[in-house]
Amino acid sequence: MTTQAAALPATDRPASTWTGWGQWLALATMTTDHLTRYVLPTGWELDWAGSSIGRVAFPLFAAMVAWHGLFNTRNPLRYARRILVIGLVAQLPYMMMPRASDAFLLNVCFTLALGLAWGAWLRDLLSRHRHDELGVAWVALGVAATLLVWYLAGNWVEYGHRGLMLIPLLMLAFHHLHGAGDALGERLLAVALATPVLVVAGLMNSSDMAKSFTVATCLAVLWLAAGAHRLTPSVPSAMPRRLWLAWYPGHFMLIAAWLWASGGLG
């Protein structure tokens, strides 16, 4: 089986200009979350920032990965491997962050990479079924195997089982929202397939504030897939590629160094 499906032709591909804004917003909200959680004194009472602004980061990262994996890359698995490399570099400083639990956990890049691989694999499986290359029994077996992997992997990655589900669900919703024509049935199907994204987003957090920001972020990216991507202007200053790739492990290294210097690592 191959997941090297060709990216959509340029004429059928939605504009990806919004991801330029998404990159800056994702890094800003993630860094805000981590600074308020690990660096700033608890006496400043800034927990609200992590439960609001900080909850934008993960669904936004997941949406950009799902978008590029669906529309812009010819090889989603190679894209997932690049994300995995970033996660491997970031894992050691990530493990140095103070946590309520001592349980081993893989950072969010593993969640994103595995979620993308899962979504691409399922997409390819269903495509081969539509082309009569695989029977229903083989498709069912393949889906069952991925669910077993999801069940096991969800205990070891950041954001857990729900985090792993988000990218495949976003890919499914993006595909139907972008491809829906004027027929009422197609539009209703697209809305129905977007609903699980919002349900999972709402279940990912405990507080009402965190739920609201996560669901609102998912609503925004679903709206983009439904056609608003055409309205998004280009970002005035594109993020340098090296900065984009280095920020996640780099900011954890800086935080770890700060915690060590200030005695926060005990």
Looking at residue 45, its pLDDT comes to 80
Indicate the burial class of 214 (C-beta count within 10 angstroms; 0-12, 13-18, 19 or more). Answer: buried
Q: Can you state the percent helix, strand and coil of the chain, rounding each to 5?
A: 75, 0, 25
Indicate the burial class of 156 (C-beta count within 10 angstroms; 0-12, 13-18, 19 or more). Answer: middle
| Beta-strand runs (E) in 88-133 | none
Residue 157 main-chain phi, psi, to 5 deg? -115, 155
Mind giving me the DSSP string for 4-17? -PPPPPTTTSPP-T
Place of tokens 């965190």: 210
| Number of CB atoms found within 10 A of residue 208's CB | 9
Looking at residue 132, its pLDDT comes to 79
Residues whose CB is less than 8 angstroms from the CB of residue 260 and which lie 6 or more positions away in sequence, other chains included: none
Residues whose CB is less than 8 angstroms from the CB of residue 132 and which lie 6 or more positions away in sequence, other chains included: none
Looking at residue 261, its pLDDT comes to 87
The helix/strand/coil state of 113 is helix
Place of tokens 């992590």: 50
Looking at residue 221, its pLDDT comes to 98
Nearest residue to 115 via CA among 153, 165, 178, 160: 165
Q: Residue 226 has which token pair?
A: 């439904």
Looking at residue 266, its pLDDT comes to 56
Nearest residue to 116 via CA among 88, 79, 159: 79
Chunked into runs of 10 residues, the chain (266 residues) has average pLDDT values of: 53 88 97 91 81 94 98 95 97 89 91 97 88 84 92 95 97 95 90 96 91 96 96 95 96 94 73
CA distance linking residue 123 with residue 239, whole number of Å: 30
Is 100:207 a contact under the CB 8 Å cutoff?
Answer: no
CA distance linking residue 32 with residue 57, whole number of Å: 10
CA distance linking residue 119 with residue 117, whole number of Å: 6
Looking at residue 1, its pLDDT comes to 42
Domain boundaries, the chain: 18-261
